[in-house]
Amino acid sequence: MRNSIIVMIVAGILIVFAFMQPDGFNKEQTAKVGFQSPHFELQGLSGETYSLADLKGKPALINFWASWCGPCRKEAPELVRLYEQYKGQIAFYAINMTADDSIAGAKAFVEEFKLPFPILMDENGAVTAQYRVKSIPTTFFVDGRGTIQSITTGLVASDSLEKQILQAINAPRGAT
């Protein structure tokens, strides 16, 4: 009897501890520097489906944005420039927070800034939640192994964005 009470108390403590942890026990799906980038599969504005698995060892820049976001508007031309400069070396995925935006707004933004990279639509907000995006723009730099190298939040200076792109490109590559 006493042993079963102790087991129940220990189990209760472990359950409480698991719920108190912001990441639970699943550290592999935590969008933090040094951790594996959470997997996602989203449909793009083009109708094509995109996922991190498609990259097969290629580094990626994953940018969360919305059409109504002022800093996103300021950042867009720089992302276009950097994409044109590094497009063969790093994938760009621009994830529109469609749950808090609109498809029409996203299309107008893409047209206005002539975004040449894949525009992914997070219509239910699941990927935004998975990556724990709190403010936008937020950009994740992922190396060829799928490890998050760095995260930037808010409008970032052009040279800083380029430096982080180069770090992701020059990090070790290979399948995870």
Enumerate the domain spans of the chain.
25-170
158-170 and 70-86 helices, crossing angle to 10°: 40
Give pLDDT, residue 93. 97
Q: What pLDDT digit, counting tens, does each position of 65-83 carry? A: 999 999 999 999 999 999 9
Residue 59: which of 159, 158, 173 has the closest Cα? Answer: 173
Q: Domain 25-170, what fold?
A: Glutaredoxin (3.40.30)
Whole-angstrom CA distances from 97 to 15, 64, 80, 115, 152 are 33, 7, 19, 16, 17
Q: What is the pTM of this model?
A: 0.80
What does the block give as tokens for 76?
């867009």
